[in-house]
Amino acid sequence: MARKRTGGVRRQEKQWIEIFRRFGSSGLGTREFCNREGVPLSTFQRWQKRLHVSGGTAQFVEIVAPASPSSAPTSWSLEVSLPNGASLRFQA
């Protein structure tokens, strides 16, 4: 017995890339964005996983330790590479 399609929209990969670009700049949560765009949440999540897209907007955040005049200056650095290609760099 063949499975009947429910009339959903079939999108190509480049259309999903554009959807994720809009999602990244929307500032909305996943569920709210999907409701606004008329995209099924499960389909959005499946394509997000398929395209290795992070779940939100990536922004650089600099964390600076307060200056402590009594401590001796030390220097160190650490870089963490994540599976999605992002890198975190820490220096002191």
Residue ranges covered by each domain of the chain: 13-91
Query: In this structure, how many other beta carbons lie within 10 angstroms of the beta carbon of residue 60?
Result: 4
Single pTM value for the model: 0.53
30: exposed, middle or buried (Cβ count in 10 Å: 0-12, 13-18, 19+) = middle
Residue 40, number of CB atoms within 10 A of its CB: 12
Least confident of 9-13, 34-38, 41-45: 9-13
Q: Which fold has domain 13-91?
A: Arc Repressor Mutant, subunit A (1.10.10)
Q: Is the pLDDT of residue 11 over 60?
A: yes
